[in-house]
Structure 1
Amino acid sequence: MFRPLALCIGLRYTRAKRRNGFISFISAASVLGIALGVTALITVVSVMNGFEKELRARILGMISHATISGVGSGLGASEWQAAMSSAQGDSRVVGAAPYIEREAMLQGQQVAGAIIRGIDPASEPSVSQIAGQIKHGRFDGLKAGEFGIVLGQELAWVLGAQVGDRVTVYAPEVRATPVGAMPTLRSFKVVAVFEAGMQEYDRGLAMIHLQDAQRLYRMGDQVTGVRLKLTDLFQAWHVARDLADQLGGLYRVRDWSQENANFFEAVRMEKMVMFIILSLIVAVAAFNLVSSLVMLVTDKQADIAILRTLGLSPREVMGVFMVQGSIIGVFGTLLGVAGGLALAFNVERLVRWLEGVLDRQFLSPDIYYISTLPSDPQAADIIATTVVALILAALATLYPAWRASRVDPAAALRYE
């Protein structure tokens, strides 16, 4: 059997009882330091993944995976129907719905600005989750010609409006009257209130029927564009590019990542910075490993000298102590990965338990949109954490092992 001498001696030293208890304590502290660093890194990154996943789900509950819009002001009936038919012919598209999106001023007991989105209630559930986010009223209350409106929860609170109340919508369109130019306005009845869990939509979005929006904004049979839902949201960019080529460049096709590029880029950057900062915990533990191995080399100088006189080369001596340091690093990393996964999968239960013990709520739903602590451990992050920890541990063994290889046998054995 092939068993390198340096590996055998390194394993023997690892199992042997140390003469100096302090060195054993430092070694144990190094293992625990690496384990705690890896545990913290996996847990924090998993929680950040969970928040990103939760935010993505809430955003995509209100917007579409991709949109087809006109290069100019809008799409005529024949244009958007042709674009919608072409998109539905793609097997990666599972839903399509026309929409109108314009700005308006709403007046109830108070006045507030908002985005008005005209939708087709029959096809809208195929591209968004709005029907499942209704808190008060009924989504099917949106009927053509009845001028019903669905408000975000915070927008309804600002306007002082409830289901059954009426609000006046002022469109940025001017109409000529015998007394001069007048703004376009229409009274709408609140038929439902939704809660998306995102301030951008709860505070700034209202929905009306597509035909009512066309009448309010005097668009005739035009729409702003067509919203699409895809089988795989992470393929949205590729689908958007293919649809743009298929439509001959006559339409503008955008995906959800482009529409929210700044937000998701900020989340990605924050995650990267947190990964780098928390990696410093593992680096500190690696410094403990350096001190542990340096003291071990000092303690084992006589043994090193004997091994050198028996014919062990400096490289093999270096390998002995690299094996020891690597074993400590591997054991600490594996312990940290196990602890990190256990904590990441149970962090929400742990938070609830702490809230019960301390009798306080950390994430109050009255203040925070996300009142739980979501966690989403991903294999790529766990592998990256493991690799970083192992590399830092391996680098920490280089100096002590090199110092061991430089021990002079004669000087070490002079007073033995």
Structure 2
Amino acid sequence: MRSLLAMWVGWRFYLARQSNRFINFISFASTAGIALGVMVLIVVLSAMNGFEKELEQRLLGVVSHGELVGVNEPIHQWQSIVDDASQVPGIVAAAPFVRMQGLVQKVGGFQGLTVMGIDIGNEAKVSNIQQFMSPKSWQSLSEHNSNNIVLGKGLAKSLDLTVGQSLNLYMPNLNGKSQNKIGAAKSHRFVVSGIFELGGELDMSTAYIPMQYAAKTLNLGDSVSGVRIKADDVFAAPRLIRDLGYSQQQYVYISDWTRTQGHLYQDIQLVRMVMYLVLALVIAVACFNIVSTLVMAVRDKQSEIAILLTMGMRKASVMLIFVVQGAFNGILGCAIGAVLGVTISINLSAIARGIESILGIQLLSADVYFIDFLPSQLQVNDVITVVCLAFVMSVIATLYPAWKASQTPPARALAGR
């Protein structure tokens, strides 16, 4: 009952602050600061979640979790590696590939290009690249003896190529028996049979052709450059790939996604941690305004505090009055910040596209980032954590002013009235 009385008095004091414009302004500043910090923190965490999701589903969905590549020679018995992979718990699938490196000519010079020879039946088990191209483009890679090539949208635009046009790839004339013997450069002609769009750096540097045609081009016969591996847990992939590679009779190079794309995940985690710390400090600074508000409120209400103490109210109840008064600022700031943060996070990609359209700029360039749009994935746990953090900090900020209020000497306060 006493707690309810203290909360009711605190609510009345919170409403009465409207009569003092200066106290009202500082109270508004603290509420606005908390709301802004909560909103920005929710938006930033949603953006980081979006980058992680795109990294896992888009980039790591196309880039293999791991690879076994022949040392100084192609892999001859690749089917045995695929069979061995199926026996390793945690490995979902394996698929052979033939990799070709070369140059393509564009305006202003040449550009490096990695051409992956794939078998669409096996590739679909380890990669979701088919989701980023039309069914017709995907099926064009099943024509084993054709020189079809599927380019990334960015590269096709850079080379000013469309479906049906031809492309010349200049590459070293490698001896099929030994890949380290290089002859004169040789030109290989391909016909663009499709375009895929990942929206990132892979659009500019990767292309796909039928595996059998790639093996024929390199004189590999039935051999392949390597075997791609997919694990059910991307973070367990490095260990699984090593276990599989060490069990092989042929010498192979072992690589996994942490060596090629791991820096992206680490960068995302680092940015998340730094932004969380910085914005938490912003919320803390906003909460310190609550201290200023309550200190002035205590001075303004000293006579009322003295009357309540002389009427028998306990000091703990007096503290609760001002804790409740300051908590209302935190609750209002958290509520406004959460609503704005959730709304912006849900529509963040559309907002970014609108800004790009209005200003005529590109926020994320495919030449620099692995995606060319601003992703967002709102998680309820992030919203709850941020709101709870801001609310707890706002309540902590009320403790000192509330304690000072409970130490008010009634006689002195009433004498000075």
Following superposition of structure 1 onto structure 2, how do residues 5-404 of structure 1 map, counting pairs within 5 Å?
A: 5=2, 8-16=5-13, 17-18=15-16, 20-22=19-21, 23-24=23-24, 26-64=26-64, 66-70=65-69, 72-73=71-72, 76-78=75-77, 80-89=78-87, 94-107=92-105, 111-134=110-133, 138-142=137-141, 143-159=143-159, 161-162=161-162, 163-171=164-172, 173=174, 182-183=183-184, 185-230=186-231, 232=232, 235-238=233-236, 240-242=238-240, 244-245=242-243, 249-250=247-248, 255-312=256-313, 314-348=315-349, 363=362, 373-404=374-405
For structure 1, list consecutive stretches of 5 or more residues without a partner in the other structure.
none
Displacement of 1:407 after TM fit?
Answer: 2.2
Q: Residue 362 and residue 287 in structure 1: after superposition, are their counterparts in 2 closer, same or farther (change >3 A)? A: farther
Q: Residue 147 and residue 294 in structure 1: after superposition, are their counterparts in 2 closer, same or farther (change >3 A)? A: same
Quote the Cα distance in structure 2 between the aligned partners of 1:223 and 1:406.
82
On the 8 A contact 2:74/2:223 being kept in 1, the answer is: yes
Displacement of 1:14 after TM fit?
Answer: 1.4
Which amino acid in structure 1 is aligned with residue 172 of structure 2?
A
1:91-128 CA distance string (max 9 Å, x none) = 76554321133432345786332223221133223333
How many residue pairs get aligned? The number is 403
Displacement of 1:383 after TM fit?
Answer: 2.7
1:283-315 CA distance string (max 9 Å, x none) = 342122112111111112122223444455545
Q: Residue 371 and residue 253 in structure 1: after superposition, are their counterparts in 2 closer, same or farther (change >3 A)? A: closer
| RMSD value, Cα | 3.8
Displacement of 1:193 after TM fit?
Answer: 4.2
1:240-271 CA distance string (max 9 Å, x none) = 53464466544666553553111121122223
Displacement of 1:75 after TM fit?
Answer: 6.0
Could you say what secondary structure the match of 1:222 adopts? coil
Displacement of 1:377 after TM fit?
Answer: 0.7
Quote the Cα distance in structure 2 between the aligned partners of 1:175 and 1:367.
35
Which amino acid in structure 2 is aligned with residue 72 of structure 1?
V
Q: Residue 350 and residue 261 in structure 1: after superposition, are their counterparts in 2 closer, same or farther (change >3 A)? A: closer
Q: Residue 185 and residue 212 in structure 1: after superposition, are their counterparts in 2 closer, same or farther (change >3 A)? A: farther
What's the % identity of the aligned pairs? 34
On the 8 A contact 2:68/2:245 being kept in 1, the answer is: no
What residue in structure 2 maps to residue 407 of structure 1? 408
Deviates more, 1:181-190 or 1:258-267: 181-190
Could you say what secondary structure the match of 1:117 adopts? strand
Quote the Cα distance in structure 1 between the aligned partners of 2:192 and 2:158.
17
On the 8 A contact 2:101/2:171 being kept in 1, the answer is: no
Normalised TM-score (structure 2): 0.79
Could you say what secondary structure the match of 2:144 adopts? coil
Could you say what secondary structure the match of 1:69 adopts? strand
Q: Residue 294 and residue 7 in structure 1: after superposition, are their counterparts in 2 closer, same or farther (change >3 A)? A: farther
For structure 2, list consecutive stretches of 5 or more residues without a partner in the other structure.
none
Normalised TM-score (structure 1): 0.80
On the 8 A contact 1:11/1:324 being kept in 2, the answer is: no
On the 8 A contact 2:150/2:196 being kept in 1, the answer is: no
Could you say what secondary structure the match of 2:319 adopts? helix
Could you say what secondary structure the match of 1:149 adopts? strand
On the 8 A contact 1:106/1:113 being kept in 2, the answer is: yes
Displacement of 1:364 after TM fit?
Answer: 8.4
Displacement of 1:345 after TM fit?
Answer: 2.1
Could you say what secondary structure the match of 2:236 adopts? helix
Which amino acid in structure 2 is aligned with residue 131 of structure 1?
Q
Displacement of 1:281 after TM fit?
Answer: 3.7
Quote the Cα distance in structure 2 between the aligned partners of 1:75 and 1:8.
82
Which amino acid in structure 2 is aligned with residue 15 of structure 1?
R
Quote the Cα distance in structure 2 between the aligned partners of 1:144 and 1:347.
43
Could you say what secondary structure the match of 2:113 adopts? strand
